[in-house]
A and B are shown apart, each in its own frame.
Chain A
Amino acid sequence: MSLDVNDVKRIAHLARIEVTESEAAATLEKLDGILGLIEQMQAVDTAGIVPMSHSQDLVQRLREDVVSETDQRALFQSIAPAVENGLYLVPKVIE
């Protein structure tokens, strides 16, 4: 199936990536090529095949509910774009 420029803009919005008109047009061409490649899958009969998410059939491990990490708030906030009084700063979201 092929996309149009509005599809590209919609996908970009879902992905939270701003695109300009010219970027959307250029992206459209590349995405169409990739989707064409992906389309080869549709020729395969996969009725009844169990989907495989991992190579090893793993069971989620449980661990004791104990504290394993120490407080490193200052260290972690030292690499943040904007902090104030130990809080991450973002544009106002609640009026």
Chain B
Amino acid sequence: MINASLKELAGALAGKQISSVELTQLFLDRIARFNPEINAYITVDAEKSLAQARAADALIAAGKAGALTGIPIAQKDIFCAKGWRTTCGSKMLGNFTAPYNAHIVSQFDAAGAVNLGKTNMDEFAMGSSNETSYFGKVQNPWDRARVPGGSSGGSAAAVAARLAPAATGTDTGGSIRQPASLCGLSGLKPTYGVCSRYGMIAFASSLDQAGPMAKSAEDLALMMNVMAGFDERDSTSLQRDKEDYARDLNQPLKGLRIGLPREYFAEGLDAGVARVVQEAIDQYRKLGAETVEISLPNNALAIPVYYVLAPAEASSNLSRYDGVRYGHRASEYGDLLDMYCKSRAEGFGAEVKRRIMIGTYVLSAGYYDAYYLKAQQIRRLIAQDFEQAFRRCDVIMGPAAPGTAFKAGEKTDDPVAMYLEDLYTIAVNLAGLPGMSIPAGFSNGLPVGLQIIGNYFSEARMLGVGHQFQQVTDWHVQMPKGIE
């Protein structure tokens, strides 16, 4: 049961082989057993989860079940869930109980899914290893001495250790795809604007996007059917017709044109990862796809551009944490300014402070044109690279991360080395395109993800491209040792 797909779980629930309460309890028991070490969850509330499971069982009994009714799903702790502690991995929100639901959470509630708990993450989603969380680091289930990636590291570890059938994540610069790659999962960052950001704690608003993390592309499609859709409470939510993200799962790959960017296979890529990715691409050729070499000449600039734009937006977004209406307030302070400065000094961790300060600096008087405006101009060049590339191919493939999971502590002292983890993912966020990582194999016993990048709104086709690969491979159903 712990390795079943969402479709199989829905079948078991419909066929009365298991109830939602039993299924939820099964995962709660596993969390109680493994989470003290893996630390994938920050908050678990069995009573709340089981109440939702009982309601789901009533829906199932009444014949009113949808595709996810009764299925427990973990929520990244960046999503506000009414009545649940919602920390965003920060001491700043350590005692914050959300007074309302994020749109994504409401969508899962309406679908009858069960909220299994809130997963660990890098503080305010700023990190690529889950080591900046105030609530402690997360172990990679494939090698407990290694990181799960980040920022959605708790969600990735939860699904990899089978402490949840699926989870939500968010991706600002690679935070779904890189942990999916490092933990052997499937994860999708949709086109910017497809999933509402309402109630999703803001980091860099022009880049942040919610998406699903699960074992297979088929699972992702079922979750996207719940997560996607217009929401008037998000000013950048896109008004589009409802679509079925599972519609192209069975579309054959014959004639599919795969673009291989030469910049993704150049210096900086681990040899073992390169081998696994090449083997996956060979598998696609066997399935009838054609490959064409393309170029994304400005890819290397994506990291500097991102580290202007994302901190700039973060410095503005995180100015709301002032210790007045919610969040941490210092216990001792003098005047109002002192209260702000002390509360923020105590509430934020080192990486968050660094990014706020970088953002403050690049937006400060006299520097705006040299940094922020310049970065926005190069952002357009990066988006144009993709526009050119998609004239010659249907999807782009390459690695999702430059290496496999690294050891905890290995990169914590060098922010720039950590930032390079997102070398192949960040440009996709800057362009607003959909990107996905699927398990492609192993290098030295550690999972390797294949990244699939599509044109705007081509998620259904991308999921089909992933699903067809998963029909002839079994990387996505392999489990780490020691979690049975």
Q: Which of A11, A54, A76, A82 contacts B361 (CB 8 A)?
A: A11
Given A17-B345, A51-B380, A80-B326; A42-B374 close (CB under 8 Å): yes
Interface membership of B348, Cβ < 8 A: yes
Residues of A29-79 whose CB lies within 8 A of B: 30-31, 33-42, 44, 46, 49-56, 58, 60-61, 63, 72, 75-76, 78-79
Interface membership of A81, Cβ < 8 A: yes
Given A14-B364, A37-B304, A76-B325; A55-B416 close (CB under 8 Å): no
Can you name the residue of chain B whose Cβ is closest to the Cβ of A19? B345
Q: Which of B95, B238, B342 contacts A56 (CB 8 A)?
A: B238
Q: Which of A41, A76, A82 contacts B375 (CB 8 A)?
A: A41
Can you name the residue of chain B whose Cβ is closest to the Cβ of A3? B361
Interface membership of B423, Cβ < 8 A: no
Chain A, interface size: which category?
Answer: 35 or more
Tell me the interface secondary structure of chain A in the complex.
Answer: loop
Given A33-B415, A33-B416, A79-B326; A52-B376 close (CB under 8 Å): yes
Interface membership of B195, Cβ < 8 A: no
Q: Which of A15, A58, A63 gathers most chain B CB within 10 Å?
A: A15
Q: Are A61 and B341 in contact (CB under 8 A)?
A: no
- Please list the residues of chain A having a beta carbon within 8 angstroms of any beta carbon in chain B: 3, 8, 11-19, 27, 30-31, 33-42, 44, 46, 49-56, 58, 60-61, 63, 72, 75-76, 78-82, 88, 90-93
Could you list 18 examples of A-B contacts with CB < 8 Å? Answer: A13-B341, A17-B345, A18-B342, A27-B357, A31-B354, A34-B419, A36-B416, A38-B304, A38-B371, A41-B375, A51-B377, A52-B380, A55-B192, A61-B232, A76-B326, A78-B99, A82-B329, A90-B336
12 additional A-B residue pairs with CB within 8 Å, beyond A12-B353, A41-B371, A56-B236? A13-B341, A17-B341, A17-B356, A34-B419, A35-B361, A37-B419, A40-B300, A44-B381, A49-B378, A51-B373, A76-B325, A81-B324
